[in-house]
Amino acid sequence: MKLKYSLITRRQFLNTLFSGSLLVFFSGAIYSLLKFSFPTLGKEPEFVVLDKNEFGNLAPNSTKSFAWGGVLGLFLKREDGTMAAFKGVCTHMECNVAYRPEEKKFYCACHQGWFNDLGVNIEGPPPKPLENFEILETGEKIVIARKGAKVDLAKV
């Protein structure tokens, strides 16, 4: 069946096509520029290396933050002296969590989520525990590694 009248004019069709092409071109250019300017944006490492003097002598029942790629990492020294390292990002909607020494728990202020000092979600909306990292000690360094990551300690 042949239409008597076109639904859009040739000018409208070409304008839409041209505008769409410009949008795709500039979106790609801006994305490439951002990736070039911030190469680690959105990437997380397999491991990070911390200074043992700085983190090993932490007071009991306290935390110290470190950079886990572009996000917060939290190094915890519990009251009994055991250490743990977590990604300090809530598993609900990715707000940063903070350690509350008086409660010995991690708190997420966004929606009142709580995690115990093992990183387990115990109250509020977080659906799963904080990501827990492995701690490897070598010489003057502490290596915080993603579980299962291969770390060559000789090269650290």
Draw the binding track, 28-47, toward ligand FES (x: CB under 6 A; -: no contact): --------------------
Phi first, then psi: what are they for 132, rounded to 5°? -105, 130
E-strand ranges in 62-127 read 62-68, 71-77, 83-87, 98-100, 105-108, 113-116, 121-123
Written as six digits, the tokens of 30 are: 């801006």
Closer to ligand FES at the Cβ: 61 or 96? 96
Residues 6+ apart with CB under 8 A from 4: none
**Distance from first CA to last CA of the chain, Å, rounded?**
73
Written as six digits, the tokens of 67 are: 């950079």
| 119 touching ligand FES, by CB under 6 A | no
Q: What residues from 99 to 118 belong to the interface with ligand FES (CB under 6 A)? A: 108, 110-111, 113
E-strand ranges in the chain read 47-51, 62-68, 71-77, 83-87, 98-100, 105-108, 113-116, 121-123, 132-138, 141-145
Closer to ligand FES at the Cβ: 104 or 128? 128
Q: 45, 56, 69, 124: which one contacts ligand FES (CB under 6 A)?
A: 124
Closer to ligand FES at the Cβ: 74 or 142? 74
Draw the binding track, 69-98, toward ligand FES (x: CB under 6 A; -: no contact): ---------------------x-xx-x---
Closer to ligand FES at the Cβ: 47 or 107? 107
| 126 touching ligand FES, by CB under 6 A | yes
Closer to ligand FES at the Cβ: 90 or 145? 90
Binding site for ligand FES (CB under 6 A): 90, 92-93, 95, 108, 110-111, 113, 124-126
